[in-house]
Amino acid sequence: MLGTYILNLLLLFLYPQQDTLKDFRHQLSRDIQRNLRLPPETDSAGKCYHYTELLKVTINEKSHIVTIEFSDSAPQWLINDLQVQKDKKRIDLVKLDSIAKKAGFKNHILIFPFIIESDDFPCGSEKKIRRYSQNYFKFKGQDLKGKIIFGEEIKAVIPTRYLKKKENNSTE
C-alpha cells in the first residue's frame, strides 16, 4: 500500500516534467529546423546521407538557457549553422526559458539525439542502423556530467525528391 502511494506520488512529479520536456523539445526543434541549412551532400550527385549527433542544452539555477551545442562528433557545417542561428536570434530563448522555468529545470542538462537524413536513407545496400562516432557523448572533449535528462530525438528528414525536382526545373 505504501509502495503504491509512493509510486503514484512519483508519477505526479514525473509526468508533468515529461510533458514540459516534450514542449521544450518541440519548440527547440521548430526553431532549429525552420532555418537549418541543407547538408553539403545535397550539392553532390548522391544525395543520400545520415547524421546522428547529440544536442545539449545547459540550463542554470535561474532556469535560463546558458548553452545550446552539438556533441564533438557533429560536422563543422552543423556546428556553424547552429552558431549562426544563435547569433541571429533565430532560436527563441525567451520561450525556451519560460518552458524550462515552468518545468522546474534548474542546473539541468537536456540531451536530445539530433538526426538529419535524406528521405531515401538507407542508401543502396546500407541498413538503416545508426552508427555513433567516438566523440558522440563528448562536448568540448568532456564527458557528460550533472543533472542530465534525455529527451526524445529531434529528426529532420530532407526530401531529396524535392531537391531533384528543383534541380530539373533550374536546368530548363
Q: Tens-digit pLDDT profile for the chain (172 aa)?
A: 444 445 444 444 544 455 678 999 999 999 998 888 877 766 555 567 778 899 999 999 999 999 999 999 999 999 999 999 999 999 999 999 999 999 999 999 999 999 888 776 666 655 555 566 778 888 988 888 888 898 899 988 877 654 454 555 444 4
Instruction: Answer yes or no: is 116 within a domain.
Output: yes
Evaluate the CA torsion angle 73, 76, 77, 78 in order and state its sign. positive
What's the structural domain count of the chain? 1
- 118 contacts 160 by C-beta, under 8 angstroms: yes
Instruction: Answer yes or no: is 107 within a domain.
Output: yes
CB within 8 A of 75, min separation 6: which ones? Answer: 39, 51
Taking residue 97's Cβ as centre, other Cβ atoms within 10 Å add up to 17
Instruction: Answer yes or no: is 130 within a domain.
Output: no
Any idea what DSSP says for residue 125?
T
Instruction: Answer yes or no: is 12 within a domain.
Output: no
Can you give the pTM of this predicted structure? 0.75
Q: What is the DSSP string of 7-68?
A: HHHHHHHHHHHHHHHHHHHHHHHHHHHHTPPPPGGGGSS----EEEEEEEEEE-TTS-EEEE
Instruction: Answer yes or no: is 2 within a domain.
Output: no
**Cα–Cα distance measured from residue 122 to residue 116, given in angstroms and rounded to the nearest whole number:** 12
Closest CA to 73 of 153, 139, 146: 139
Instruction: Answer yes or no: is 136 within a domain.
Output: no
Taking residue 24's Cβ as centre, other Cβ atoms within 10 Å add up to 26
Instruction: Answer yes or no: is 101 within a domain.
Output: yes
Instruction: Answer yes or no: is 156 within a domain.
Output: yes
Range of the domain at 47: 18-124+143-171
